[in-house]
Amino acid sequence: MVRKPTNHINYDDDIIYELNVSEHVDYINPHDYGITDFESINPSDYFITSGDAVVKATHLEKDMWRVAGEARKRFGKSRNKRHLEFQRKIWIAAGKCRLLLNMLKKVRGEHIFLETEWKDHVLYCIPKDPRKKDVID
């Protein structure tokens, strides 16, 4: 069951959702686990520019699962507890990317896009329909 997001603002019959990526997906830094030569993905980096939030979350999830697979190949049989913990945390973060994607799809609803927009250092997600015609009386 997907819950309706609670941090949204109703604005002219549209819902504007305030997105804080770090509340949904943690940044797992390999350096914190003594790993210096491994790719890291900061989920917030995917939402720096404006664009469709669902597309951005889809790319984030794909990349996170790829890195999780690489971590499993490299550290799956390791006896180093820090490496195993890193692998576990990456898999958890990849799963949270799926939850983020599902939540953004719910926010988008029947609209075509869920546009991201920065205002006053806050990231907003605004459902948009570019082909929607306004009825003029």
Q: Apex CA 62: angle with CA 125 and CA 120, to 5°?
A: 25
Stated pTM of the model: 0.83
Q: Apex CA 125: angle with CA 124 and CA 128, to 5°?
A: 135
Tokens coding 45: 């980096």
Task: Summarize pLDDT for 10-41 with one digit per residue, the tens.
Answer: 444 557 889 999 999 999 999 999 999 999 99
Please state, in angstroms and as integers, the Cα–Cα distance from residue 19 to each residue in 24, 26, 44, 48, 126, following that order: 9, 14, 10, 12, 10
| Nearest residue to 41 (alpha-carbon basis) of 51, 27, 52 | 27
pLDDT of 6 above 90: no
Task: Summarize pLDDT for 28-80 with one digit per residue, the tens.
Answer: 999 999 999 999 999 999 999 989 999 999 999 999 999 999 999 999 899 99
pLDDT of 85 above 50: yes
